[in-house]
Chains A and B, each alone.
Chain A
Amino acid sequence: MDFMTIIGNVFTYSLVHDMITASVPIILACMCAVISRQVNIINIAAEGIIMFGCFFGVLVSYMTGSWVLAVLVSVGLGMLISAFMALAYLKYNVNIFVLGLCVNMIGTSGTRFLLQTIFKTSGNFVSDKIVPIPRVNFSFLDNIPVLKSLFSGYSFTEWLVIPIVIFIWFMLYKSVWGLRLRSVGLNEMAAVTSGIDVNGKKLAALVLSGACAGLAGAHLSLGYSCLFIENMSGGRGFMGMAAMQFGGANPLWAAIGCVVFGFSNSVANRLTPYGIPNQFVTMIPYVATIIVLSASVVLAMIKRRKSESALKA
């Protein structure tokens, strides 16, 4: 097959659907990084919390048959883990980076252990008793394949991500809560002297970011797919952090950064059948991460140099 046909087969209208589907877990993970970055905390624990979210999502859904309960448990667990991190960080001065690293390592190995003890299996767990997050289908679009592909067939959480991002943006930039929260991240002393409870704000930010990562996990195992695989977070937590950096911790820009990753992810998936070595294909999202990050750093540097320059009148 020649090169142009491959390109033709890869870049079709249905790529948009794939791209959105692939972006959503990254966006949710990214919101975790965004919220904690706004109080000047680099929270790297998204990866680990996502793994717990994935596993307990599947477990609760399998046991109870309720996807709503499964999502709630995952979100609650995310909040619990980050509340624990906040306690260690804010009260006992444990390094937040070390804490994040621990959560990530426990996330991978802990879920593997639980998989083996509870489900007596390893690698992955599939069962038709797992109830996934329902998909929203618009039957009136069934006759128009392009529109159907673009707007139909997304899971509930995929639609939910739009109000979530806008809500977070509004809360951060237009609400009292957000102004105070951002002031903590930008100048802690200014916040203290304005009578703001700095640690309270940090705790709130961390717990909320944990909720986002927990939701990302539940979505990954119940919305994006309907199974649990070891290591299924696949670096999405870190891609979310990179996108946060790209967007300067503004949820809207960061979400756009996530779409770029989602795009490269889905292109990679479509290239796999064409004999391009799998290793290269799976590299694409990470290479994209590096490129996007470098570009954003270089752009910021050029912009800074220009605004700093003494030469212009």
Chain B
Amino acid sequence: MEKIVEMNNIHKQFPYVKAVDGARFDLYKGEIHSLIGENGAGKSTMMKILYGMYEIDDGEIILSGERVTDHKYTTHTAIERGVGMVHQEFMLVKEMTVLENIILGSEPTKKGSRNVAIDFEAAREKIKFYIENYHMAVHLEKKVTNISVGEMQRVEIIKALYRGADILILDEPTAVLTPQEADQLFEILNEMRKDGKTIVFISHKLKEVMKISDRVSVMRAGKYITTVKQSEITMEELAELMIGRKVFLNTKRTPPKEGEVVLEVKNIFVPSERELSKIRGISFNVRKGEVVGVAGVDGNGQSELGEAIAGLRRVEKGQILLGGEDITNKSALQVRRNGLVHIPEDRNDRGLNGTHTFADNMLAAEIRNHPYSRLGVVNSKKIMEEAWKRSEKFDIRPRDPSNIAGSLSGGNAQKIVVARELGAAGKRFLLAAQPTRGIDIGNIEGIRKMIDQAKVEGVAVLLISADLDEIMSLADRIIVLYEGRITGELVNEEWIDEGKLGYMMMGGGDKNE
């Protein structure tokens, strides 16, 4: 088989971290090649380098026998050379239509207009081929804001193919899909392989990797570990290669000791910029000492639900009670005073102030209270004392809380958020939104244990997560959200059928319907 990509001895340094440290990678024409590793292993960086988004500090890239790194190698050159990439965060312009997004950067033009006026008709014709050939339904005239996540991904794939990509890199493509949508994607990828396209599949979901790949490359901490044929390895061996030790991601869930109702959501309606994320009348309770998990594909109203409870988004109708008190449309501060603690879903945007110290971040929610301040004057000594204690308790590395939060890796940054929220006194209700998103496996385990521990201490927990494994390992009860409505509710017993959960996440009703 023909070797079409070779990356040798690649080095890439970012301000705080060496993302890629002497790694290599290669591709044969017509294969599906998985690149696996934990979060932060450098797999995305490696592929962004191949796509020309990052300049390398050292090393070489050879495409079809030609050393392209001899000259300036940019995204533009990568596209010209037939490399396409579908990013984990979709690179779509929301305010533009699907059609405009697909052609952006390689627009067909009307004859006689000197390549100035766009020929939308010709573009539609050309795109139709990909839609039909690979069975990827997309609405060309809709604005991207108004389409589902699954459709956005199809748009991204068509976008890459439209640019003539022969090598298609997919960065964690199934993270935002239901199990059924993921299967559909795999069918599309298999079709493409038959057509002679080469696919790089970045993932850490080993089940999927085993299902789809011809070969698998493993990275760990920026370094290249090995490349193996799918037929010559087992999932367990892959896991060990990826993590470097034997880990079993099964947080032992403590059985719930249910007490009185703490959070009561009564038929609420919550607005959203996105049609599918509007909450349209949902009700549920969370009791003291239990974890209720909210499952669902990203973008079905999970964020809006969390924000509405935390006082960050307007509720149009309905009521939210916390500890028997009405907190509907109260300010975030008032809701906190009623006993809410909140791990927000976007750590960098809402969770943490990257320019402040660990200590400031850890005490940010309590800085108004005695002894951390008096009459508006902050008592730095008390803050540092408490911060040291929490640093120990929540195992934050480095320990010293006078460090700046922005320098931390995902896992430790998130532990600071957890330390702020779970270290606080007087908490009754924990709202944990995507608490382990984008962090490494070691710290995922730790944070899940902390959430379970909070439950044992009698806190009511609402866990919103797109990660089904996380919901399964922590939640006592699961509610499934689809297009802003609850499509199912089930008790997390010995064995839950993942197919059934997936079906509910796609809008299929539960046994009652």
A residues contacting B by CB (< 8 A) are: 174-177, 179-180, 182-183, 186-187, 189-197, 305, 307-311
Kindly report which residue of chain B lies nearest to residue A186, judged by CB atoms: B93
Contacts of A194 in B (CB 8 A): 75, 79, 91, 104-106, 159
B330 lies within 8 A of chain A by Cβ: no
Instruction: Let me know if A195 and B280 touch, CB within 8 A.
Output: no
Report how many residues on chain B are interfacial, defined by Cβ distance under 8 Å.
40
Give the chain A neighbours of B75 by CB distance below 8 A.
192-195
- Min CB distance, A313 to chain B, in Å? 9
A183–B101 Cα gap in the complex (Å)? 9
Q: Nearest Cβ in chain A — how far from B386, in angstroms?
A: 37
A174 with B117, Cβ < 8 A, contacts A192-B53, A194-B104, A310-B271 known: yes
Please tell me which one of the listed residues A186, A196, A197 contacts residue B96 in the complex, with CB atoms under 8 A apart. A186
Whether A196 and B105, one on each chain, are in contact in the complex, defined by CB atoms closer than 8 angstroms, is yes
Per-residue interface assignment for chain B, residues 64 to 107, with 1 indicating a CB less than 8 Å from any chain A CB and 0 otherwise: 00000000001110110000010101011111100011011111
Instruction: Give Cα A219–Cα B106 distance, bound, in whole angstroms.
Output: 38
Contact of B506 with A by CB under 8 A: no
Which residue among B89, B93, B271 has the maximum number of chain A CB atoms within 10 Å of its CB? Answer: B93
Contact B116 A310 (CB under 8 A): no
By the criterion CB–CB under 8 Å, are B91 and A190 in contact? yes
| Chain B min CB distance to A34 (Å) | 16
Chain B residues near A192: list those with CB within 8 A. 53, 75, 91
- Residues 43-74 of B at the A interface (beta carbon under 8 Å): 51, 53, 74
B373 CB contacts on chain A under 8 angstroms: none
A310 touches B316 (CB 8 A): yes
Which of A175, A191, A310 contacts B118, CB < 8 Å? A175
Known: A190-B104, A310-B280. 15 other contacts (CB 8 A): A175-B116, A179-B96, A183-B104, A186-B96, A187-B94, A190-B101, A191-B93, A191-B104, A193-B75, A194-B106, A195-B74, A195-B75, A195-B105, A196-B104, A310-B272
Within 8 A of A (CB), among B308-339: 316-317
B contact residues vs A (CB 8 Å cutoff): 51, 53, 74-76, 78-79, 85, 87, 89, 91-96, 100-101, 103-107, 109, 115-118, 159, 269-273, 278-280, 316-317, 484
> Do B104 and A311 touch across chains, with their CB atoms under 8 A apart?
no
A104 to chain B, nearest CB (A): 30
A199 to chain B, nearest CB (A): 12
- Other-chain contact of A176, B74, B94, B107 (Cβ < 8 Å): B107
Q: Chain A contacts of B278 at CB under 8 A?
A: 308-310
A310→B484 contact, CB < 8 A:
yes
Majority secondary structure of chain B interface residues (helix, strand, loop or mixed): loop
20 contacts between A and B (CB under 8 A): A174-B117, A175-B117, A176-B107, A176-B116, A179-B100, A179-B107, A182-B93, A186-B96, A187-B91, A187-B92, A187-B93, A190-B93, A191-B93, A191-B104, A194-B105, A195-B75, A307-B273, A309-B271, A310-B272, A311-B317
A197 to B103, CA, bound (A): 16
Q: With the chains together, A99 CA to B118 CA distance in Å?
A: 35
Chain A: CB-nearest residue to B104: A194
The majority secondary structure among interface residues of chain A is helix
A305 contacts B271, C-beta separation under 8 Å = yes
B-chain residues with CB within 8 Å of residue A186 when the two chains form the complex: 93-96
Assess the B92–A176 pair: CB atoms within 8 A.
no
Q: A193-B91, A194-B91 are in contact. Are A180 and B96 (CB under 8 A)?
A: no
CB distance from A183 to the nearest CB of B (A): 5
Known: A176-B118, A195-B105. A308 touches B271 (CB 8 A): yes
Interfacial chain B residues near A177, Cβ < 8 Å = 116
A192 and B118 CA atoms in complex are apart in Å by 20
- For residue B114, give the distance in angstroms from its CB to the closest CB of chain A: 10
Give the shortest distance, in Å, between B507 (CB) and chain A (any CB).
17
Of A190, A195, A305, the contact of B79 (CB 8 Å cutoff): A195
Contact across chains for B104 and A310 when beta carbons are under 8 A apart: no
CA A195 – CA B83 in complex, angstroms? 11
CB < 8 Å A-B pair total: 90
A195-B75, A305-B271, A310-B272 are contacts. A190–B92 as well, Cβ < 8 Å?
Answer: yes
In the complex, the chain B residue whose C-beta lies closest to that of A305 is B271
Task: Please state if B316 and A309 are interface contacts (CB–CB under 8 Å).
Answer: yes
Are B92 and A308 closer than 8 Å at their CB atoms? Answer: no
**A179: B residues at CB distance < 8 A:** 96, 100, 103-104, 107, 118
**Shortest CB–CB separation between residue B124 and chain A, in angstroms?**
15
Q: Which residue of B lies closest to A310 (CB)?
A: B278
Q: In the complex, A187 Cα to B152 Cα: how many Å? A: 15
Report A-chain residues with C-beta under 8 Å of the C-beta of B101: 190
CB of B503, distance to nearest CB on chain A (Å): 24
- B77 shortest CB reach to chain A, Å: 8
Contacts of B279 in A (CB 8 A): 310
What B residues does A190 contact at CB under 8 A? 91-93, 101, 104
Closest chain A residue to B79, Cβ basis: A195
Residue of B nearest to A187 (CB): B93
Q: In the complex the two chains form, is A180's CB within 8 Å of B269's CB?
A: no
In the complex, what residues of B have CB within 8 A of residue A193's CB? Answer: 51, 53, 75, 85, 87, 91
In the bound complex, residues from chain A placing their C-beta under 8 Å from that of B273 are 307-308
**Which chain A residues border B117 with CB–CB below 8 Å?**
174-176
Task: Give the distance in Å from the alpha carbon of A183 to the alpha carbon of B316 in the complex.
Answer: 33
> What are the residues of chain A within 8 A of B96 when measuring CB–CB?
179, 182-183, 186
Q: What CA separation (Å) do A182 and B105 show in the bound complex?
A: 12
Q: How far is the CA of A310 from the CA of B269 in the complex (A)?
A: 6
CB distance from A171 to the nearest CB of B (A): 8
**In the complex the two chains form, what is the Cα distance from A195 to B104 in whole Å?**
9
- Among A176, A182, A196, A311: residue with most chain B CB under 10 A: A176
Find the B residue at minimum CB distance from A173: B118
* Contact A174 to B118, CB < 8 A, known contacts A186-B93, A310-B279: yes
With A187-B91, A310-B484 known to touch, is A180 a contact of B105 (CB < 8 Å)?
Answer: yes
A186 to B92, CA, bound (A): 9
**6 smallest beta-carbon distances between A and B, as pairs:** A194-B105, A310-B278, A308-B271, A195-B76, A190-B91, A193-B91
Residue of B nearest to A307 (CB): B273
Q: Within the complex, what minimum Cβ distance (angstroms) separates A306 from chain B?
A: 9
Closest to B271 in A: A308
| A311 B316 Cβ-Cβ under 8 A | yes
Residues in B neighbouring A305, C-beta threshold 8 A: 271
Provide the bound-state CA to CA distance between A283 and B87, in Å. 52
Closest to A308 in B: B271
Question: Which single residue of chain B is at the shortest CB-CB distance from A184?
Answer: B93
Q: Are A180 and B104 in contact (CB under 8 A)?
A: yes
Which residues of chain A are near B159, meaning CB under 8 Å?
A: 194
Q: Are B91 and A189 in contact (CB under 8 A)?
A: yes
Q: What is the CA–CA distance of A180 and B91 in the complex, to the nearest angstrom? A: 14
Residues of A within 8 A of B105 (CB): 180, 191, 194-196
User: CB-CB < 8 A to A180: which residues of B?
Assistant: 104-105
Which residue on A lies nearest to B116, using beta carbons?
A: A175
